[in-house]
Structure 1
Amino acid sequence: MYRFLLTPRWWGINVFVLLAIPFCIYMGSWQLSRFEERMDTHRDAGARSDPDERGAARPLDDLLPVTKATSGEQATATGRYTDQFLVPGRTLDDRDGFYVLTLLRTDSGRSLPVVRGWLPGTADAAKAPAPPTGEITVTGALQASETPGSNGVAATSGLPTGQTGAISAASLVNLVPYDLYDGWVTLNEGDAGMSAVPAGLAADTGLDLKAFQNLGYTGEWFVFAGFVVFMWFRLLRREVETLRDAELGLAPDETPAEPSPSLTAP
């Protein structure tokens, strides 16, 4: 009855099934690993942004370039404060305000943007405390450079003198005549009575739509694997029924006739 499984047609079907099922399982497992990776990255980033989970601070140069793995890490740098800028349109605890951003000139000759704190209200240079003088060592969470126009970050063009819309070397390079680090630090404790700016999560580390897409694709690939098995059994059953009907002399899709009631014994 099942000798048809050895025919070339069924050899092709069987080979396809034997290849399709492991492939679907592999792709589903890979998508699941991507989701778990995003979950781990999200937890790690969240732990680094939690003040109670801060690790030991390390020298700034040891953490560069800023990646998803180093964003939020505690960094230290030593230098002297120079130019100061305001970053308007920033909220903290659902209140509108602005960051006070001061550049720290290090011994390397490059300057590190340091967010010393946040103040409520409209950006006004008269409200911003002057930076400390002399050599100073800062400690804070390392952050990646912002991109103007993304995630609500305002563009730098059109702002008054002394203000910048994004905290990045690309935005500040036209405002200062020296090299800048590609990244910035937010102090753990606000300077001069200002509110500290909490470290944000690195890009592509949150549980966003992409993470749940990976989870959805995981389910789809396992459904595909189940569908392949289902179709194989369905084809097998149909083939068996076709052969059985042929043995009974029936045409395909023809069912045996029921005996007439008039011919049955009383």
Structure 2
Amino acid sequence: MYRFLLTPRWWAINVFVVLAIPVCLVAGTWQLGRFEDRVAEHREQQDAADAAGDPGGQVRPLERLLPATTETVGEQARVTGEFDAGRELLVPDRTLDGERGFYVLTPLLPEDGGPAVPVVRGWLPGAADPARVPEAPSGEVTVTGALQAAESPSEVGAPTGLPAGRIGVIGAASLINVLPYEVLDAWITVREATPPLAAVPPSAPSGTGLDADAFQNLGYTAEWFAFAAFAVFMWFRLFRREVEARRDAELGLGPPGPLIPGQEPGAGPPGPSDRPDPEPAGAGARSGSPSPPA
């Protein structure tokens, strides 16, 4: 009964299913691995953030942590230089502990003459107001804080049309437009802020951890496994229909033919006695029917 599986049509179906199932499983397993990697990165970033808030954490020179990557973001960095207080910037619409306020960003000119380092000296609640900001320390200072990656407008929802002295995104791409010197494409948030400023806690870099991309990988995992299950389901469905059709054919239970006008549904084909008698020649003339034109 199952010899139909050796027909060319079923050979094509079988080969397709045999190849589709492992491909779907491999793709789903790979997407699941990507999700697990992002979960591991999220845990690492949480550990790094916790270590950054620990005063006893290891502090390394800033140059040893550059460029800012997922491995170095959140690490404690140390840099020595002088604050450029005359070009201090305020970063409005920043939230800390559920309260809206603003960051105070002061460029630090390193003693080695490298790019200026954006330093977030702290956070204040309310609207951005330079009159409320304490003065930056003068002379040579050593800043210790957590290294942070440059931001993008999509990450922070930066406001537009800000007045002078305000900036919406912390990064070289935006700071280069308001500062007359080269700026590091990363920033530091100080570990201990000067009152009334509140220290800004470090955050995990974007593109890692349990973000939208991570859950997108998890969704792709479910899709690939569903494709594999669907291939198996369709094969069994086609196989069952083929077996039932061949069994019906062996029992003579094929699909009914077209009905003849006047025949009851389910009746078989008309026999010789059921066929109407042929009309004799000339019957049409005797019954008064018009004869066809010659």
TM-score (norm. length: structure 1): 0.84
Offset of 1:158 from its aligned partner?
A: 3.3
Contact between 1:47 and 1:53, CA under 8 Å: does it hold in 2? no
Larger Rg: 2
139-148 or 17-26, which deviates more: 139-148
Q: How does 1:160-175 map to 2 (within 5 A)?
A: 160=164, 162-175=165-178
- Aligned partners of 1:80, 1:53: CA distance in 2, in Å? 23
Percent of aligned pairs with the same amino acid = 58
Contact between 1:99 and 1:118, CA under 8 Å: does it hold in 2? yes
- Aligned partners of 2:201, 2:103: CA distance in 1, in Å? 12
2:173 maps to a residue whose letter is A
Offset of 1:171 from its aligned partner?
A: 2.1
1:19 maps to a residue whose letter is L
Alignment pair present for 1:47 and 2:51: no
> In structure 1, what is the equivalent of residue 30 of structure 2?
30
Aligned to 1:119, the other structure's residue is in SS state: strand
Offset of 1:174 from its aligned partner?
A: 2.8
Cα gap change, 1:61 to 1:2, in 2 (>3 Å): same
TM-score (norm. length: structure 2): 0.77
Aligned length: 253
1:45 maps to a residue whose letter is Q
Cα gap change, 1:120 to 1:251, in 2 (>3 Å): closer
Aligned to 1:117, the other structure's residue is in SS state: strand
Aligned to 2:124, the other structure's residue is in SS state: strand
Cα gap change, 1:213 to 1:54, in 2 (>3 Å): farther
> In structure 2, what is the equivalent of residue 153 of structure 1?
158
> In structure 2, what is the equivalent of residue 85 of structure 1?
89
Aligned to 2:188, the other structure's residue is in SS state: strand
Aligned to 1:143, the other structure's residue is in SS state: strand
Q: How does 1:212-223 map to 2 (within 5 A)?
A: 212-223=215-226
- Aligned partners of 2:145, 2:49: CA distance in 1, in Å? 11
Aligned to 2:73, the other structure's residue is in SS state: coil
- Aligned partners of 1:17, 1:82: CA distance in 2, in Å? 68
55-64 or 244-253, which deviates more: 244-253
Cα gap change, 1:133 to 1:227, in 2 (>3 Å): same
- Aligned partners of 1:128, 1:66: CA distance in 2, in Å? 28
Offset of 1:127 from its aligned partner?
A: 2.2
Q: List alignment gaps of at least 5 residues for structure 1.
A: 258-266
How large is the Cα RMSD of the aligned pairs? 2.5
Deviations 1:202-234 (A, max 9, x none): 112343333223222222221221121122122
128-137 or 146-155, which deviates more: 146-155
> In structure 2, what is the equivalent of residue 8 of structure 1?
8
2:133 maps to a residue whose letter is A
- Aligned partners of 1:80, 1:192: CA distance in 2, in Å? 20
> In structure 1, what is the equivalent of residue 132 of structure 2?
127
- Aligned partners of 1:88, 1:248: CA distance in 2, in Å? 82
Q: 2:229 aligns with which of 216, 226, 230?
A: 226
> In structure 2, what is the equivalent of residue 183 of structure 1?
186
Q: 1:203 aligns with which of 190, 206, 223?
A: 206
Contact between 2:156 and 2:169, CA under 8 Å: does it hold in 1? no
Offset of 1:55 from its aligned partner?
A: 5.1
Contact between 1:146 and 1:153, CA under 8 Å: does it hold in 2? no
